[in-house]
A and B are shown apart, each in its own frame.
Chain A
């Protein structure tokens, strides 16, 4: 490893060859401000387009200023990060960016969580010397994401996520000069693009240009309506991240406070999506065993690997990009939709409420869930199984706006019957969790033996694509795991080419799985936060007495009372779905 010595602000520092000035300065404790720069270390994404020019520094002997995020250190380099030339330029550049930005901070969704706002505060900007034209675009309202390009600062982080990481390829720079903007091809709406609504663009957007659709007003209205029974479900990953919105350390589990807060908000029944996750395992696990058994017996009509289908971003992705493989994913609905379906049938019948008078709200770490619950196939006579899906961030805002001091709330339990869950349901929130949960159940159902060690560490981790095998009593089950749609695409292309050796594959659209979902508190590219959330999820799993889905007593009861057995006709009707080949963007320029 070659070391390089350089001087930054009159101090010497030694760094590895290839280190940028920005990182070298950091080593000296000098924080050079950045705006477009983004580093998701463990995901191998370093976005440094050198576009915003906020991080410029003076390098001796160089004609112009250098962007520190993209300029590599050279032996003997002399750098100044705070000369008058640098400070004046940096401020002027920031003023320019602000001069083309709406001044609606007070009512902006990102207020308080906006990189541009923070930078303006840090630099003490009090006035903007430039007045002139501002970019104005028609806001784009999709079912899940709002694009308000007036607030776009062309950092292009969303493009990196959409194109390089997710390989979805919807967002890219179009037009030139002052009119340049990030948009789907031909400036179409997201709704008419191949967007999967994974929300990773929203998760990295430094300003309010990309935000999730806000459904809190509808939720508040439902809560206030005495004629409605409002049922809420909370996704596994929410409990591992919500605390961050209230100043708690990343990785703080707030399951009990979450239930308490929802009850104080006025939800009639506080249930857990984890219950539905256990139900998913019953159906998906049985489907896997069924397909696997036939496959191992030489039935050529059965296709393997089987792919998980809990992630709505992932479903959107293959409906657009792998229309020839629609029979490969499991037909099991996602936990959110299984929950909605059961709540508005089994549970509604139980409490004798007409499904039309029941409102199901889901709290999701996800943006794509907003789209998923609007799908026609998840409605009965036009009435959706899940009425509203709000993100972890929206819930936090709802709690704050309702005068609830979240941190001082007592820990409360979920309601029954749809609030009980096992550890297997909890780990759905992290990459590898769904398949681990499935393995726990499938193993016991297949081998008829009790699993003593339920932790399958070989399935865990933050590696983008992982391969592992599990011994099913002499039968080696090969499992593939991918998170991030770019990684998923690689596994899918192998499947398409007939090269895949896996029996089952788990896919999550977001980095880290749901813990890094597009609806989570913004992690600003800090992968330490993802790791902490992941740890919290596994901790909750370990704390549970029951850790295998099929041991959940309320699941057992549900089958006894209502569904019969997994994959029964009724289960198929209520808990399974089918997939559609979506048109790819066709070009008609009118």
Chain B
């Protein structure tokens, strides 16, 4: 067998592939072959590295060189310089946004420094289409141990002791969920993996399935053993073709190796897994809706109880866990519940994966220990706000989370703290906003999503969210009154209080949290008819400052509706009746002569 001295790990996540990382992989392979290095350098496609902001990523092992934004045509240079001569290709190195220096070793990148990768442990490290690599990294050892050495009760106790809570949003203790499903009589029982990731901007589940599908399969088998199920189903949205492909390969390989199927590892335990495709409805992330969708019914939630553990898929006891939750399971068995529970806060153990997005330098996927502060996440891992702007708010928990502000930055992140501050963990979306963001518009944006994604079953969610959205629209147009703000708050509270499922119970969070934290901004829209961030088109107008205008005509030439008049070297004027407020004039003006009023 070839003994490789160097590994080139090429990110094969969806993000990087979109930027031609598969082409890059082929070129690297070709170059290595041409230079006769195929026995020395191994090129591997891996799952997502998380640093999607600057993909495609190539990581060189063993020196941890982290190349970013690599194009297929860079392959020759990387092989010639790095593989042969041992010289790093400087121009492809990650550049620290603050220090403006190249960082050659990924371990020294702020992005990775504070991360602890458990769920993402194998993402960006191994080839997800090769079960051998997973087996080499303790793969299926947890399953082997559980089957050979533990009773279901003992195994469930390990999960309980670990303190693991559901990573899909609710934060329900996973061990307890398993224990309940274990205790319910029924045959057959089902294990369901919820891979209907629906939060806009969140893609941790996809990354895990693309980068480390076997960890989820292994965990589901363990789950099956614990509750007495021999059938597993993965409900995955059809928009995740790569994850589906890799899952299929992984399931096939696991069957081939006897790690799925009958009499797994000689234990007498049978377990197999099938895929079920969803059409991508957000509400199908709710477990009862998910189950209905799998049954071929309309994907809408039903009242609990009965819980899926009592009556789930086809009316049988069913345990539903999310992808990230499952990805933690094998590690818990390999390293012990005690090790796992040593990470995190008192009530929230382990790590959480977040999808960092918005006005932040390092957009990407990160995994951090529970208890880390928002400040650490945003300013250290995230590299601070883009363009040196001022931090304004961070929205956690996906579309139904709340907007947190400066005063929340130093509170440790865990399920309970986020809930107490008016937001939630959700599935781990984290969107950072800067001074240019209008918080009323932000709330409106999220409501637009929930209005669209509500299943329409219960009145408060179906009609209430629509009315909330209409009310916010009125505010952004300066047509609302202070009384409307009171009505808005009351309606938001009622929707929260009366909706049937988690979607409606949380959908008003963006409204309530912005009302709490940015009330003055709402008041400005309502009383002064202004948008302090200059975002609400109906409340602003672009004007030319005569003192600054030199009459260069740049604005007039770029105006799409030709509403700017003025002779060369004369002060220009915007015709407000025609202006569509696109902002092109302001963008093109080199003399700061266009302003928002």
Contact = CB atoms under 8 A, between A and B. Distances in A.
A260 interface: no
Question: Size range of the interface on A?
Answer: 35 or more
B368 to A, nearest CB: 27
B457 A173 contact: yes
Contacts of B350: none
B456 A50 contact: no
Contact of A173 (B300, B302, B452): B300
Interface stretch (A87-95, A341-349, A458-466): A87-95
Given A50-B303, A153-B459, A154-B457, A92 B496 contact: no
A173 B457 CA distance: 9
Interface in A55-100: 56, 64-65, 67, 70-72, 85, 88-89, 92-93, 96-97, 99-100
Contact of B497 (A70, A89, A96, A178): A89
Contacts of B300: 173
Contacts of B500: 50-51, 53, 67
A574 B462 CA distance: 54
B499 to A, nearest CB: 7
A222 B300 CA distance: 49
A175 interface: yes
Nearest to A48: B303
A130 interface: yes
A172 interface: yes
A85 B498 CA distance: 11
A179 interface: yes
A129 interface: yes
Contact of A176 (B454, B467, B470, B497): B454
A177 B470 contact: no
Contacts of B544: none
Contacts of B491: 92, 130
B141 interface: no
A474 interface: no
A64 B455 CA distance: 20
A67 B466 contact: no
Contacts of A174: 298
A72 B310 CA distance: 15
Given A72-B305, A180-B462, A96 B457 contact: no
A178 B494 contact: no
B298 A93 contact: no
Interface in A281-315: none
Contact of A132 (B298, B455, B466, B498): B466
B302 A96 contact: no
A177 B451 contact: yes
Interface string B269-289: 000000000000101000000
Given A67-B303, A177-B451, A100 B456 contact: no
Contacts of A100: 463, 466
A179 B490 CA distance: 24
B499 A53 contact: yes
A49 interface: yes
A178 B303 CA distance: 20
Nearest to B470: A132
A131 B491 CA distance: 13
A83 to B, nearest CB: 12
Interface string B452-496: 111111111011111100100000000000000001001100101
Contact of A133 (B305, B454, B466): B466
A97 B463 contact: yes
B456 A180 contact: yes
A56 B498 contact: yes
Nearest to A177: B454
B462 A177 contact: yes
Contacts of A180: 454-457, 462
A177 B465 contact: yes
B505 interface: yes
Nearest to A56: B498
Interface class of chain A by DSSP: loop
A52 interface: yes
Contacts of A92: 460, 464, 490-491, 494, 498
B459 A178 contact: no
Contact of A52 (B453, B458, B464, B470): B458
Contacts of B499: 53, 64
A63 to B, nearest CB: 8
Contacts of B303: 48-50, 67, 70-71
B455 A154 contact: no
Contact of B452 (A64, A70, A177): A177
Contacts of B464: 92-93, 96
A50 B497 CA distance: 14
A51 B459 CA distance: 7
A154 B456 contact: yes
Nearest to B491: A92
Contacts of A64: 496-499, 505
Interface string B551-582: 00000000000000000000000000000000
Contacts of A130: 467, 487, 491
A54 B494 CA distance: 12
A50 B490 contact: no
Interface string B367-411: 000000000000000000000000000000000000000000000
A64 B304 CA distance: 13
A156 B499 CA distance: 17
B227 to A, nearest CB: 24
Interface in A155-212: 156, 172-181
A531 to B, nearest CB: 30
A585 to B, nearest CB: 17
Contact of A89 (B451, B465, B498): B498
A176 B452 contact: yes
Nearest to B496: A64
Interface in B48-99: none
A88 B490 contact: yes
B451 to A, nearest CB: 5
A541 to B, nearest CB: 43
A205 to B, nearest CB: 16
Nearest to B283: A176
A178 B460 contact: no
Contacts of A176: 281, 283, 452-456
Contact of B467 (A65, A89, A96): A96
A93 B498 contact: yes
B448 to A, nearest CB: 10
Interface string B519-549: 0000000000000000000000000000000
Nearest to B301: A50
Contacts of A51: 457-459, 500
Contacts of B462: 154, 177-178, 180
A178 B458 contact: no
A93 B460 contact: yes
A176 B459 CA distance: 12
Nearest to A91: B494
A65 B456 contact: no
Contacts of A179: 456
B260 to A, nearest CB: 35
A178 B466 CA distance: 7
24 contacts: A50-B302, A51-B500, A53-B459, A53-B498, A53-B500, A64-B505, A89-B494, A92-B490, A93-B460, A100-B463, A132-B466, A132-B467, A133-B466, A154-B456, A172-B298, A173-B457, A175-B456, A176-B281, A176-B283, A177-B452, A178-B454, A180-B454, A180-B455, A181-B456
Task: Please provide the 6 A-B residue pairs with the shortest distance between their CB atoms, ordered closest to farther.
Answer: A180-B456, A177-B454, A132-B470, A50-B303, A96-B463, A92-B494
Given A56-B497, A132-B470, 8 more contacts: A48-B303, A49-B302, A49-B303, A52-B458, A97-B463, A99-B467, A172-B298, A177-B453
Interface of A: 48-54, 56, 64-65, 67, 70-72, 85, 88-89, 92-93, 96-97, 99-100, 129-133, 153-154, 156, 172-181
Interface of B: 281, 283, 298, 300, 302-303, 305, 451-460, 462-467, 470, 487, 490-491, 494, 496-500, 505
